[in-house]
Amino acid sequence: MPVYSAPMENIKFILHDVLGAESLTEIPGFEEATPDLVDQILEEGAKICESVLFPLNQSGDEESCIFKDGDVTTPKGFKEAYDEFTQGGWCGVSADPEYGGMGLPMLVNTVMQEMICSANFSFGMYPGLSQGAYEALHHFGTPEQKQTYLPKLVTGEWSGTMCLTEPHCGTDLGLIRSKAVSNDDGSFNITGTKIFISAGEHDLTSNIIHLVLARLPDAPEGVKGISLFVVPKFLPEDMSRNPINCGSIEHKMGIKASSTCVMNLEEAKGWLVGKPHKGLKAMFVMMNAARLGVAMQGLGIAEVSYQNALAYAKDRLQMRALDGAKSPDKPADPIIVHPDVRRMLLTSKAFCEGGRALSYWVGMNLDISLHHPDSDKKQEADDLVQLLTPILKAYQTDMGFEVSSLAMQVHGGHGYIAEYGVEQYTRDARIAMIYEGTNGIQALDLVGRKMGAHMGRYLRRFFHPVSQFIEENQTNADLQEFIFPLAKSFAKLQQSTAIIAQKGLKDPVEAGAASVDYLRQFALVAMGYMWIQMAKVAQEKVAEGADNKKFYDSKIKTAQFFFARMLPESDWHFKAIMSGKDSLMSLEEGEF
């Protein structure tokens, strides 16, 4: 049977010791978000994830959602778990108190997202989509729309969706065909078909609020002609049924307890959100929130995969250690003694702990970008969030899949069968590399939009603190084994940036050919920046005589593994970037 325990000690270490998240209490509205309160809330969140959501993960996968006559039934126990989840206020952790939310920092919600995704990836899709709908309406909705929908989304009584994709278009939203025709009462009749709609139909809530992209009759061609509409399943004024219906659900590789729907709109009644033809701007609020949420899915699935691989490696007896028996009282040694098993476990551990620090840093900056009273600090934080969002989404979902695959490998043949549960993690993890913009699209976003934005201003928000840290710590004797590898990798990242910018101005295909390697190189340097900070704090704690020396020693040793075995990967990404586009583009189509 699979296992999961929320990594609270690691979470608290990053929040309090590494990031100093208590500084958020200086922001108006967050005064009560003290470390003690945040810890209490997260510990309660851990309990519901461990005891309510996690036990339904494997059974939910086995049962899947059931579609019949336009209705979708979630697996046994999901409705009761959702009711308990919403009664605890977990749908409104970071929501505006004006609409019934707790008003806590987004950072707290970021941590909760990780734990939810570790415990039950499929379940997390339902409140996750609602949060995206909340964000879009909170930013762009009219006062009437906010009063109508936000309180119900915050309590979880109603849920939300994002309706973008159509049968003929996915990433290229400019091809959307769904039409919206105005009515005399200010509403619109919307007709079209949307596919791959997560949580589009289910039995968890009394209403589902769909945010739908469509075109007005006078809309310009392409992405400049897309409008956003709020289309409820039941009309709030009288709860009559709106003709937006589920035509079918997809039979999928993973996340089977999450309903993925085909939604048919037949003159469904909706209301414009934001301005006409400006729907993409509003939808990107949802998509950016969703991309950070998907990054947490990658981290969450990696963490639970790692925990199960570690538990198995400590228990499974196979052969003797290469340098002699470690458990002479047993017929064989546990497989954790073997170097290759340790390689897989340490890769997983180093990613999970480094990715957690990087994610929480971005989550903290998201709060600053939204709420800090100093406009300059808000802008600086927003720049960093904009830059790192595609990096987090792509790298962490790539690694979520890799770590789940490593967990299966550690289990050997037992990993390939359903009983131990880890094959489900691999199946569940795979979709995160695809939806909310494939990871290749994230790489194009990084080099095509973020790199050159505002004359490189986004890049400076990351480059400057890294450069400053290296300069301030280059003579720190305790950090020498970390500081020089980081400085070398950082210098190559700067060089890659300059080369891509130079070549990309002349030939965008050069930038596209380098994009995936550049994103991965950037991610590894960012991970190195977080790991060196964790190592520094751990060294200081050991020097101070902190009680939990074993915990801090583990941090230092894992940092050593990352810098010795994982950061060097950035070198071959650098070499691939330097090789240019020819090896990718010279082959004629007929030569494949």
pLDDT in tens, 314-364: 999 999 999 999 999 999 999 999 999 999 999 999 999 999 999 999 999
Count of domains for the chain: 1
Q: Which of 133, 122, 124, 291 is nearest to 212 (CA)?
A: 133
When pLDDT is averaged across residues 393-410 and rounded to a whole number, the result is 98
Instruction: Give the model's pLDDT for residue 222.
Output: 87
- Asked if 436 is an active-site residue, the reply is yes
pLDDT in tens, 187-232: 999 999 999 999 999 999 999 999 999 999 999 998 889 999 999 9
Instruction: Give the model's pLDDT for residue 171.
Output: 75
DSSP 174: G
Do the beta carbons of residue 347 and residue 564 sit within 8 Å?
no
* Spatial distance between the Cα atoms of 413 and 62, rounded to a whole number of angstroms: 20
Instruction: Give the model's pLDDT for residue 71.
Output: 97
Let me know how many helices (H) and strands (E) the chain has, helices first. 19, 9
Would you say residue 379 has pLDDT above 80? yes
pLDDT in tens, 483-497: 999 999 999 999 999
| Side-chain-facing half-sphere of 509: CA atoms under 13 Å | 7
| pTM of the entire predicted model | 0.97
Look at 101 and 174; give whichever has higher pLDDT: 101
Please state at what angle helix 480-506 crosses helix 457-473, rounded to 10 degrees. 160
Look at 170 and 66; give whichever has higher pLDDT: 66
Instruction: Give the model's pLDDT for residue 223.
Output: 85
Instruction: Give the model's pLDDT for residue 522.
Output: 98
Q: Which of 275, 283, 321, 257 is nearest to 194 (CA)?
A: 283
Reduced to 3 states (helix: H, G, I; strand: E, B; else coil), residue 254 is: coil
Helix (H) or strand (E) run with residue 86 in it: helix 78-87
Could you tell me the pLDDT band of residue 1, with boundaries at 50, 70 and 90? confident
- With respect to residue 577, please indicate whether it lies within any of the assigned structural domains: yes
Look at 283 and 354; give whichever has higher pLDDT: 354
Burial of 165-192, coded b for 16+ CB within 10 Å and e otherwise, reads bbeeebeebeebebbbeeeeeebbbbbb
pLDDT in tens, 417-456: 999 999 999 999 999 999 999 999 999 999 999 999 999 9
* Spatial distance between the Cα atoms of 211 and 129, rounded to a whole number of angstroms: 10
Do the beta carbons of residue 153 and residue 209 sit within 8 Å?
yes
When pLDDT is averaged across residues 463-492 and rounded to a whole number, the result is 97
- With respect to residue 527, please indicate whether it lies within any of the assigned structural domains: yes
pLDDT in tens, 521-566: 999 999 999 999 999 999 999 999 999 999 999 999 999 999 999 9
* Spatial distance between the Cα atoms of 483 and 228, rounded to a whole number of angstroms: 48
Q: Which of 466, 403, 474, 407 is nearest to 432 (CA)?
A: 403
Q: Quick one: tokens of 332? A: 């064989």
Do the beta carbons of residue 137 and residue 230 sit within 8 Å?
yes
pLDDT in tens, 16-73: 999 999 999 999 999 999 999 999 999 999 999 999 999 999 999 999 999 999 999 9
- With respect to residue 438, please indicate whether it lies within any of the assigned structural domains: no
Instruction: Give the model's pLDDT for residue 202.
Output: 98
Would you say residue 287 has pLDDT above 80? no
How would you class 468 by CB atoms within 10 Å of its CB: exposed for 0-12, middle for 13-18, buried for 19 or more? exposed
Reduced to 3 states (helix: H, G, I; strand: E, B; else coil), residue 334 is: strand
DSSP 53: I
Would you say residue 170 has pLDDT above 80? no
Instruction: Give the model's pLDDT for residue 285.
Output: 72
- Give the range of the structural domain holding residue 475, as residue numbers without chain letter: 446-584
The catalytic residue among 201, 353, 380, 436 is 436
Would you say residue 295 has pLDDT above 80? yes
Do the beta carbons of residue 298 and residue 240 sit within 8 Å?
no
- With respect to residue 273, please indicate whether it lies within any of the assigned structural domains: no
Q: ∠ CA 345-350-353 to the nearest 5 degrees?
A: 120
Could you tell me the pLDDT band of residue 152, with boundaries at 50, 70 and 90? very high
- With respect to residue 540, please indicate whether it lies within any of the assigned structural domains: yes
Instruction: Give the model's pLDDT for residue 284.
Output: 75
What percentage of residues in the chain have a pLDDT greater than 90? 95
The mean pLDDT value of the chain amounts to 96
Residue with tokens 């037992």: 414
Instruction: Give the model's pLDDT for residue 304.
Output: 98
Instruction: Give the model's pLDDT for residue 144.
Output: 97
* Spatial distance between the Cα atoms of 352 and 303, rounded to a whole number of angstroms: 6
CA dist list (Å): 64 to 76, 156, 203, 205, 592: 9, 22, 13, 18, 39
Instruction: Give the model's pLDDT for residue 280.
Output: 82
- With respect to residue 413, please indicate whether it lies within any of the assigned structural domains: no
Name beta bridge partners: 208: 159
Q: Quick one: tokens of 265? A: 């709109």
Would you say residue 130 has pLDDT above 80? yes
Do the beta carbons of residue 49 and residue 116 sit within 8 Å?
yes
Would you say residue 458 has pLDDT above 90? yes
Name beta bridge partners: 162: 211
How would you class 208 by CB atoms within 10 Å of its CB: exposed for 0-12, middle for 13-18, buried for 19 or more? buried
Residue with tokens 């109508």: 148
Instruction: Give the model's pLDDT for residue 372.
Output: 97
Written as one letter, the residue type at 156 is: G
- With respect to residue 9, please indicate whether it lies within any of the assigned structural domains: no
* Spatial distance between the Cα atoms of 285 and 136, rounded to a whole number of angstroms: 6
- With respect to residue 466, please indicate whether it lies within any of the assigned structural domains: yes
Could you tell me the pLDDT band of residue 282, with boundaries at 50, 70 and 90? confident
Reduced to 3 states (helix: H, G, I; strand: E, B; else coil), residue 233 is: coil
Q: Count the neighbouring beta carbons within 10 Å of the beta carbon of residue 582.
A: 10
Q: Which of 34, 38, 12, 10 is nearest to 23 (CA)?
A: 34
